[in-house]
């Protein structure tokens, strides 16, 4: 039974050069109609696939705080009425430093939002312009100060490394500034140049200057060292938190648990079925208006696929995959399933096998994808 929900707000006031998420420019969009349809989707889904209660909710985008304070009020009030969130543990919304005014913070606080995820990416203002961001270093500091004043005590910053023209010293400075702001959580991801982005087109034209691989490795190792020295626990490959502030919602994904996905382009995983909603807003709105599910496609996850996902998602966590949990969930011994692959990875120094679990080594952190692919297309469906 799903106890988590992701809600997608596809509107942005500007489009970042690296972003391939489902999003559109805010201007002239049917925002009010979208909110109405979103709430209808939630209500119908709760009727068709009820749950005893949601423990985590994550509102992402796009840019959720591109909505006006009034629109946020309508959305959050409606969610309060149609979703079982009375006993919610973690209630997150993504915020942009440029669009998180005090009146919006007041609305978020009013409806129980207790975690803010702020897209910062870098504190280097030249790099910010280069990736299409419009905020500045000072606007991030101001946004955090306003958030603290409004009563928010759980703030996460998203950072990126491997950006065009980014030097290791630039990322070191960004890490140091993030730590100095005393936020509870930091997520840091390397740039992936995805299709349908400005960066993809520039790369294809030979106009994108990316750091060499050795610089990216240096940036990541610097991240590990500095967050550790600052007392931030690395609990997943790209995520670091003060004790007790690990993202409960993201752990749902890494633990291969089920969750609802609401909104245009949203993904969900309910009753063994993974699904994706229509991305284009007109198609999403039309499906809701006609009373049908707005799903683009669905996929029933097979037992073998569940096991594969458990490995490449679970190994992202620093605690790894516990043997007893694996066997309880899937009815098979982990070592019986993947003994040969694990032995090979041990020989390469990429995984460590303890008496109770398997986890990535320090070297394995750097070569995670090479580890994960060892667990794909190994087992046969029976």
For 50-101, the pLDDT digits (tens) are: 999 999 999 999 999 999 999 999 999 999 999 999 999 999 999 999 889 9
Q: How confident is the model at residue 290 (pLDDT cuts 50, 70, 90)?
A: very high
Between strands 233-236 and 185-190, the pairing is: unpaired
Between strands 185-190 and 239-241, the pairing is: antiparallel
Q: How confident is the model at residue 15 (pLDDT cuts 50, 70, 90)?
A: confident
Residue range(s) in the chain whose domain bears CATH number 3.80.30.20 = 4-254
Q: How confident is the model at residue 253 (pLDDT cuts 50, 70, 90)?
A: very high
What pLDDT score does 350 carry?
97
Between strands 90-95 and 115-121, the pairing is: parallel
| Residue 244 scores a pLDDT above 70 | yes
| Residue 2 scores a pLDDT above 70 | yes
Separation CA 65–CA 134 (nearest Å): 15
Residue range(s) in the chain whose domain bears CATH number 1.10.10.920 = 303-375
| Residue 252 scores a pLDDT above 90 | yes
What pLDDT score does 336 carry?
92
| pLDDT tens digits, 259-273 | 999 999 999 999 999
| pLDDT tens digits, 333-366 | 999 999 999 999 999 999 999 999 999 999 999 9
Structure tokens given for 71: 């629109």
Over the chain, what is the mean pLDDT?
96
| Residue 141 scores a pLDDT above 70 | yes
Separation CA 203–CA 334 (nearest Å): 41
What pLDDT score does 23 carry?
86
What pLDDT score does 99 carry?
85
Counting residues of the chain whose pLDDT is more than 70, the rounded percentage is 100
Check: CATH 3.80.30.20 for 4-254? yes
Q: Which fold has domain 303-375?
A: Arc Repressor Mutant, subunit A (1.10.10)
| pLDDT tens digits, 296-344 | 999 999 999 999 999 999 999 999 999 999 999 999 999 999 999 999 9
What is the reported pTM? 0.96
What pLDDT score does 382 carry?
62
What pLDDT score does 221 carry?
97
């Amino acid at each position: 039974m799903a106890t988590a929900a992701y809600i997608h707000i596809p509107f942005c006031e500007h489009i970042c050069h690296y972003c391939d998420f489902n999003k559109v420019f805010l201007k002239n969009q049917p925002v009010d109609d979208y909110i109405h349809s979103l709430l209808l989707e939630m209500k119908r889904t709760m009727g068709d696939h009820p749950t005893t209660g949601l423990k985590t909710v994550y509102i992402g985008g796009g840019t959720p705080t591109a909505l006006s304070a009034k629109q946020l009020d309508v959305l959050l009030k409606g969610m309060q009425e149609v979703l079982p969130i009375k006993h919610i543990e973690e209630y997150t919304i993504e915020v942009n430093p440029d669009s998180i005014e005090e009146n919006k913070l007041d609305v978020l606080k009013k409806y129980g939002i207790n975690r803010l995820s702020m897209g910062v990416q870098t504190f280097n203002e030249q790099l910010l312009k280069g990736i299409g961001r419009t905020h500045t270093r000072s606007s991030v500091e101001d946004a955090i100060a306003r958030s603290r004043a409004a009563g928010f005590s759980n703030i996460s910053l998203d950072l990126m490394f491997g950006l065009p023209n980014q030097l290791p010293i630039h990322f070191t400075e960004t890490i140091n500034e993030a730590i100095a702001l005393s936020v509870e959580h930091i997520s840091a991801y390397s740039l992936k140049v995805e299709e349908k982005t400005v960066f993809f087109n520039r790369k294809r034209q030979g106009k994108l200057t990316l750091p060499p691989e050795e610089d990216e490795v240096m940036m990541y190792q610097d991240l590990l060292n500095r967050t550790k020295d600052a007392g931030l626990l690395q609990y997943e490959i790209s995520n670091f938190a003060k004790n007790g502030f690990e993202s409960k919602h993201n752990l749902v994904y890494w633990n291969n648990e089920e969750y609802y996905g609401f909104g245009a382009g949203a993904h969900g995983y309910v009753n063994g079925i993974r699904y994706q909603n229509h991305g284009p807003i007109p198609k999403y709105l039309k499906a809701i208006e006609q009373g049908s599910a707005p799903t683009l496609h669905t996929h029933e996850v097979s037992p073998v696929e569940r096991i594969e996902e458990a490995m490449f998602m679970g190994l992202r966590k620093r605690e790894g995959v516990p043997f007893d949990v694996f066997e309880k969930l899937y009815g098979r011994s982990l070592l019986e399933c993947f003994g040969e692959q694990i032995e090979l990875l041990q020989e390469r120094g990429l995984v460590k096998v303890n008496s109770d679990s398997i986890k990535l080594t320090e070297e394995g952190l750097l070569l995670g994808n090479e580890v994960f692919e060892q667990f794909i297309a190994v087992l046969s469906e029976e």
